[in-house]
A and B are shown apart, each in its own frame.
Chain A
Amino acid sequence: MPYYFSFRSIYPYLGDLAAAAQATLLLSVLAIVLSVAIGSGVALMRRSDSRLLRFTGGLYVEVMRNTPLLVILYIVYFALPQLGLRMSPFNSALIGLTLNSAGYMAEIIRAGLVAVPPGQFEAAASQGFTRVQLYRHIVLPQVFRTIYAPLGNQFIAVILASSLASAVAVEEVASWMQTVGSSSFRFFETFVIAAVVYLVLCQIVNLGRIAIGRWLFRQPEAYR
């Protein structure tokens, strides 16, 4: 039996798609913001003078990078309620996604910090900079330049990874594809639409990163 490609048969589900795309977007944006914050903390831990903090930070990164996100999502979704922590599927997916992504963010940010020559820390200290001034004016601008590209790739990775939230009952784009596909038998069309949604989201981040990067890191007038 030949398969007739027909978008018309999934028109009725397009309203759900808008809600699903919103969920994907919200989940990704929140996870990105939170994991950058937590990742920065872990990166600083890994550079701390305290051996215990360094070890804990390193352990966190290794655990998150070597365990499947799906297993972490299941732990948050199934095991935390057993300890009395009940939450919505969306929140548990957000926690799992954030914990996982923070491990990668920490490594990216740490690589950025390592790239700042130690002499600069000493020079700033000798100039009487406070710690905040040191980071604000000397370290962070350089770190930002180094981590800019890998950070963009990690943002895309988070958007793609948010699809696993469908496994813990969050109604986002991947679960939209699955539900609509199985109720209308239109898996090809739903696949094409879901793929387009993810492609657009990822390429916005990708092309946006390149365009903003060109503008941010343009050469000053005098050196051109």
Chain B
Amino acid sequence: MSAQLLTYMPLLLKAALVTIWLSWLALLIGAVGGTLIALARMSTFLPLRLLALLFTEFFRSIPILIVLFFVFFGMPLVFGIDLSPFTATTVALALHASSTMSEVIRAGLESVGKGQWEAARAAGMTYWQMMRHVIVPQALRVILPPSVGVYIATLKESSLASIIGYVELTKTGLLIRETMGSSFVPLLLLALIYFLINYGISLGGAALERRFHVNTRLMTAGAGQ
């Protein structure tokens, strides 16, 4: 039985790459969307702030699965937009990731002291110069470690693609289960592959956290705070 399973290994590894690519893409779009929403949340224009708050609260309070159902089954009917399972999953995951990332990014931006924003302004920097040279380098230290957590969450959520029939890691495991006619070993192997990928990423995240922690301390020591 395990010899038979061995023949499926290349298939599983290829599927693992699909899963990693799918979740990476969703995270990237989520990071861009999250940045825009975080900036909207911190805007001085009240309607924009409210809209951003509504977006975050909405996507944090409904399951990704029903968003996925809507994007995949509903969009073709309602808007006449036909999306492939891959695109539908990416959109659903990215919507959710952008609501989570917006909170992470907002926390990062707000962690930079008010004085820094004012000082940059007073030094005559434009908005982009201030962001590029003063705010973002400091905010990134706070943003990066939790982003690793968001990536792991997105990677796990990408398993939902199997429900709408997209062949990624979970679906591949289910298909192998059907061909082998045995559930235990293929599904356990599936869990193990996910575990190894995510545990590896979380170790990387922990290293990042340690490194930035040290840097943060040095930085504040230098600034005499």
> Across the interface, which residues of B come within 8 angstroms of A70, CB to CB?
159-160, 162-163, 170
- Nearest B residue to A176, CB-CB: B66
Give the contacting residue for A198; candidates B66, B187, B188; CB below 8 A.
B66
Whether A71 lies near B191 (C-beta < 8 A) is: yes
- At the interface, yes or no: A195 with Cβ under 8 Å from chain B? yes
Whether A160 lies near B62 (C-beta < 8 A) is: yes
A163-201 contacts to B (CB < 8 Å): 163-164, 166-167, 173-174, 177-178, 181-182, 185, 187-188, 191, 194-195, 198-199
Contact indicator per residue, chain B 187-206, by CB within 8 Å of chain A (1) or not (0): 11011001100110010000
> Across the interface, which residues of A come within 8 angstroms of B187, CB to CB?
71, 74-75, 78-79
Q: How many Å from the CB of B90 to the closest CB on chain A?
A: 17
- At the interface, yes or no: B177 with Cβ under 8 Å from chain A? yes
- At the interface, yes or no: A67 with Cβ under 8 Å from chain B? yes
- At the interface, yes or no: B174 with Cβ under 8 Å from chain A? yes
Whether B58 lies near A199 (C-beta < 8 A) is: yes
Q: How many Å from the CB of A2 to the closest CB on chain B?
A: 9
With contact pairs A75-B188, A78-B183, A79-B183 given, residues A191 and B66 touching in the complex (Cβ less than 8 Å): yes
With contact pairs A75-B188, A174-B65, A198-B66 given, residues A68 and B194 touching in the complex (Cβ less than 8 Å): yes
- Nearest A residue to B174, CB-CB: A74
A128-166 contacts to B (CB < 8 Å): 156, 160-161, 163-164, 166
- At the interface, yes or no: B126 with Cβ under 8 Å from chain A? no
Give the contacting residue for B63; candidates A63, A67, A161, A206; CB below 8 A.
A161
Whether A67 lies near B198 (C-beta < 8 A) is: yes
> Across the interface, which residues of A come within 8 angstroms of B74, CB to CB?
181, 187-188, 191
B144-170 contacts to A (CB < 8 Å): 152, 156-157, 159-160, 162-163, 170
> Across the interface, which residues of A come within 8 angstroms of B162, CB to CB?
70
Whether B183 lies near A82 (C-beta < 8 A) is: yes
With contact pairs A66-B202, A71-B187 given, residues A174 and B66 touching in the complex (Cβ less than 8 Å): yes
Q: How many Å from the CB of B184 to the closest CB on chain A?
A: 4
- Nearest B residue to A64, CB-CB: B195
Give the contacting residue for A66; candidates B62, B152, B184; CB below 8 A.
B152
| CB contacts between A and B, total, < 8 Å | 121
How many chain B residues sit at the interface, stated as a range, is 35 or more
- At the interface, yes or no: A203 with Cβ under 8 Å from chain B? yes
Contact indicator per residue, chain B 55-67, by CB within 8 Å of chain A (1) or not (0): 0001011111110
Give the contacting residue for B66; candidates A3, A62, A78, A194; CB below 8 A.
A194
- At the interface, yes or no: B77 with Cβ under 8 Å from chain A? yes
With contact pairs A68-B194, A199-B58 given, residues A174 and B77 touching in the complex (Cβ less than 8 Å): no
Residue among B65, B159, B162, B199 with the highest chain A CB neighbour number at 10 A: B65
Whether A68 lies near B69 (C-beta < 8 A) is: no
- Nearest B residue to A188, CB-CB: B78
Contact indicator per residue, chain A 14-54, by CB within 8 Å of chain B (1) or not (0): 00000000000000000000000000000000000000000
With contact pairs A68-B170, A71-B159, A191-B74 given, residues A163 and B66 touching in the complex (Cβ less than 8 Å): yes
- Nearest A residue to B162, CB-CB: A70
- Nearest A residue to B195, CB-CB: A66
In whole angstroms, what is the CA distance A198 to B78 when docked? 22
- At the interface, yes or no: B86 with Cβ under 8 Å from chain A? no
- At the interface, yes or no: B79 with Cβ under 8 Å from chain A? yes
- Nearest A residue to B155, CB-CB: A68
- Nearest B residue to A1, CB-CB: B80
Whether A69 lies near B156 (C-beta < 8 A) is: yes
- At the interface, yes or no: A106 with Cβ under 8 Å from chain B? no
- Nearest B residue to A181, CB-CB: B73
- At the interface, yes or no: B70 with Cβ under 8 Å from chain A? yes
- Closest CB pairs A-B (n = 3): A187-B74, A163-B63, A66-B198
| B residues neighboring A (CB under 8 Å) | 58, 60-66, 69-70, 73-74, 77-80, 152, 156-157, 159-160, 162-163, 170, 173-174, 177, 182-184, 187-188, 190-191, 194-195, 198-199, 202
Sample of 12 further A-B pairs with CB below 8 A, known A75-B187, A182-B73:
A67-B198, A69-B156, A71-B194, A79-B183, A156-B60, A164-B63, A167-B163, A174-B63, A187-B73, A191-B69, A194-B66, A198-B63
